[in-house]
A = this chain, B = another copy of it.
């Protein structure tokens, strides 16, 4: 078995977030589904951007946010995702590399511009996302770095990656390599509508033994098992015989295995500014705990702490050293 080079390798859409504050009236006027991620085409992205207020531009992308959070917590991290060599693409590549995450996916030579997500943040801190996938649609099997996957303790897949159709072959290849090398594969369900689009594929991955760790929030879990009842969904997940981690916003998280149900509270915060990336950073903290051989409770507390940092400012990338933050809160890594 090859030696471990990376604690985690994330595969995801390489996205730049364009974040603007707004109000519920604007969401209603634009026909947007609050709290959800909606796929939009380039023309719609232009119209919506024009209607939006002044924006802050920060690198994002769900799995990318997670691996950057893990790097900030002291893990060795890598990322695979597709960009074009435009200003947004160059900014994403700069940001992820300067966060000490290994990233070497070649830029797309042609095709659409780098992907971007128009994020609308309401005064309650909720984010409503509108994604133009752009160059993410060009992720292909050729972009899968076989050696990097073999040498990663955890391979982390975001559910959003099922949206760009050509990426599917790339994902299948990555999962196959990881499985053959006996690496752990983690999947984040990303969004309840995303689960709706790919429910059978996600369940197939779980039930075929391709996925060992599942991250979901409550609505994604409900969507996966098509029930409005949390306990019903939770007991279904426990039967899958994997490690399930469900986040419940201010009510904390629940870790579910076949033998255990562990509820861990959220980390208290003064003010929720922007929830973009809360789930991504929870996963970062949790997986770091696993890498460092911590108890499941400590894993969930690390997740809660990283999520608390991210929701107190604009953008889904940490603004403080999460390793130091963990130490200040008595969580020694």
Q: Which residues does A use to contact B, with CB under 8 Å? A: 21, 49-50, 52-59, 68, 86-88, 91, 94-96, 98-99, 313-315, 317, 319
Contacts and interface: CB of A to CB of B under 8 A. Distances in A.
Contact of A58 (B52, B53, B56): B56
Report the copy number of this chain in the oligomer.
2
A54 B59 contact: yes
Contacts of A68: 54
Per DSSP, chain A at the interface is mixed
Nearest to A113: B87
B98 A54 contact: yes
Most chain B CB neighbours (cut-off 10 Å) among A54, A55, A94, A96: A54
Contact of A87 (B54, B87, B95): B87
A68 B54 CA distance: 10
A94 B54 CA distance: 7
8 contacts: A52-B94, A53-B99, A54-B95, A54-B98, A54-B99, A57-B57, A57-B58, A313-B313
A91 B57 contact: yes
A319 B99 contact: no
Most chain B CB neighbours (cut-off 10 Å) among A53, A86, A94, A96: A94
Given A57-B57, A58-B57, A52 B98 contact: yes
B55 A91 contact: yes
Given A54-B99, A87-B87, A313-B314, 15 more contacts: A50-B94, A52-B94, A53-B98, A53-B99, A54-B59, A54-B68, A54-B96, A55-B94, A56-B56, A56-B57, A57-B57, A57-B58, A57-B91, A86-B87, A314-B314
Contacts of A21: 319
Contacts of A56: 56-58, 315
Contacts of A98: 52-54
Contacts of A55: 91, 94-95
A166 to B, nearest CB: 25
Contacts of A53: 98-99
Nearest to A91: B57
Contacts of A94: 49-50, 52, 54-55
A157 to B, nearest CB: 23
A276 to B, nearest CB: 13
